[in-house]
Amino acid sequence: MSYVHIFGPVASRRLGRSLGVDLVPHKVCSFDCVYCEVGRTTQKTTSRQEFFPPEEVEDELFTFLSSRPDLDFITFSGSGEPTLSLSIGRVIRFIKGTFPGYRVAVLTNGSLLGDSDVQEALHPADVVLPTLSTVDEEVFQKIHRPAIGISVRGIIEGLCRFRETYQGEIWLEVFLVPGINTGDDDLRALKQEIGRIRPDRVQLNTLDRPGPEPWVRAAGTDELQRAARILGIKEEEAFPPIRYGETHGSPHEDARSLVVEAIRRRPATLEDLVAQTGLHRQEVIKLLRVLSSDPHLKTSREERGTFYSWSGD
First to last CA, the chain: 20
CA proximity to 174, closest of 139, 148, 149: 139
Identified binder of ligand SF4 from the candidate list 3, 25, 26, 32, rule CB under 6 A? 32
Position 173 contacts ligand SF4 (CB under 6 A): no
**Closer to ligand SF4 at the Cβ: 65 or 209?**
209
Site size toward ligand SF4, by CB under 6 A:
10
Position 12 contacts ligand SF4 (CB under 6 A): no
Where are any strands of DSSP class E within the chain?
6-12, 16-21, 28-29, 43-44, 73-76, 104-108, 127-130, 169-175, 201-205, 297-302, 305-310
How far are the Cα atoms of 72, 209, 220, 310 from residue 277, in angstroms, in the given order?
A: 16, 18, 29, 16
CB 224 within 8 A of CB 303: no
Position 7 contacts ligand SF4 (CB under 6 A): no
**Residues in Cβ contact with 245 at an 8 Å cutoff, skipping those fewer than 6 apart:** 11, 16, 17, 275
**Closer to ligand SF4 at the Cβ: 29 or 279?**
29
**Closer to ligand SF4 at the Cβ: 36 or 255?**
36
**Closer to ligand SF4 at the Cβ: 60 or 81?**
81
Range in contact with ligand SF4 (rule: CB under 6 A) among 25-33, 185-193, 232-240, 301-309: 25-33
Measured distance CA(220)–CA(8) in Å, rounded: 28
Sign of CA dihedral 37, 43, 49, 52: negative
Identified binder of ligand SF4 from the candidate list 75, 85, 109, 119, rule CB under 6 A? 109
Q: Binding marks (x or -) toward ligand SF4, 41..70, rule CB under 6 A?
A: x-----------------------------
**Closer to ligand SF4 at the Cβ: 36 or 71?**
36
CA proximity to 130, closest of 149, 158, 165, 96: 158
**Residues in Cβ contact with 193 at an 8 Å cutoff, skipping those fewer than 6 apart:** 132, 135, 156
Position 36 contacts ligand SF4 (CB under 6 A): yes
Range in contact with ligand SF4 (rule: CB under 6 A) among 30-38, 112-120, 183-191, 280-288: 30-38
Range in contact with ligand SF4 (rule: CB under 6 A) among 31-39, 82-90, 153-161, 186-194: 31-39
CB of 205 to ligand SF4, least distance (A): 10
CA proximity to 111, closest of 78, 141, 91: 141
Range in contact with ligand SF4 (rule: CB under 6 A) among 36-44, 67-75, 186-194, 255-263: 36-44
Q: What phi and psi values does residue 184 have, to the nearest 5 degrees?
A: -55, -45
Identified binder of ligand SF4 from the candidate list 11, 21, 33, 273, rule CB under 6 A? 33
**Side chain identity at residue 188, one-letter code:** R
| Contact set with ligand SF4 (CB under 6 A) | 29, 31-33, 36, 38, 41, 80-81, 109
